[in-house]
Amino acid sequence: MNVFLEQAIFNGLVTEDFPVAIIEKMLQNPDSFFVPKCRICTNVQLGMEKYVAHQKQKKAIITDQHKQKTQTWKNSNGAEKCYNLQTLVHRYVDEERYRQKLSEEEYTQLQSDFAIAKKQGMTNKHLSNIPARTCPSCEGANR
Ligand SMILES: [Zn+2]
């Protein structure tokens, strides 16, 4: 589950050419987006860190579209940002499942791993300042 999730996030961000500035902002404010010691959150963060390093290394060009998306994101409130993160994680997990051609059995196993990790992760939710009822990454992976 851990490696799968990190890859899902990294591959999803690369494929979508996601604005790196948004990812950097989330990583700089982990309290608002991630639950400490949550396995799902941790691996989402690892995938994001890998993406930022990857974009820097290849000196990726920041387009006007990136700037626009980043501005829209900055103008949204905390709960909206969390919802965006949740949607992103959900979409990327789904895409990675097909990218890796998981069998039904493997996918069922993955889902049960996600469910357990969410349950464990949510016990630390109170340690974060996430402005939502649930953890965005855990919710996205389990949607
Ligand atoms: Zn989490």
Q: How many residues does the chain have?
A: 143
**C-alpha 114 – ligand 1 centre gap (Å):** 10
**C-alpha 9 – ligand 1 centre gap (Å):** 14
* Secondary structure (H, E, C), 31-61: HHHCCCCCHHHHHHHHHHHHHHHHHHHCCCC
Contact 32, 122 (CB under 8 A): no
**C-alpha 134 – ligand 1 centre gap (Å):** 8
Q: Which residue has the tokens 């974009």?
A: 55
Q: Which two tokens stand for residue 45?
A: 């963060």
**C-alpha 23 – ligand 1 centre gap (Å):** 16
Contact 93, 141 (CB under 8 A): yes
Residue pLDDT tens, the chain, 143 long: 999 999 999 999 999 999 999 999 999 999 999 999 999 999 999 999 999 999 999 999 999 999 999 999 999 999 999 999 999 999 999 999 999 999 999 999 999 999 999 999 999 999 999 998 889 999 999 99
**C-alpha 63 – ligand 1 centre gap (Å):** 31
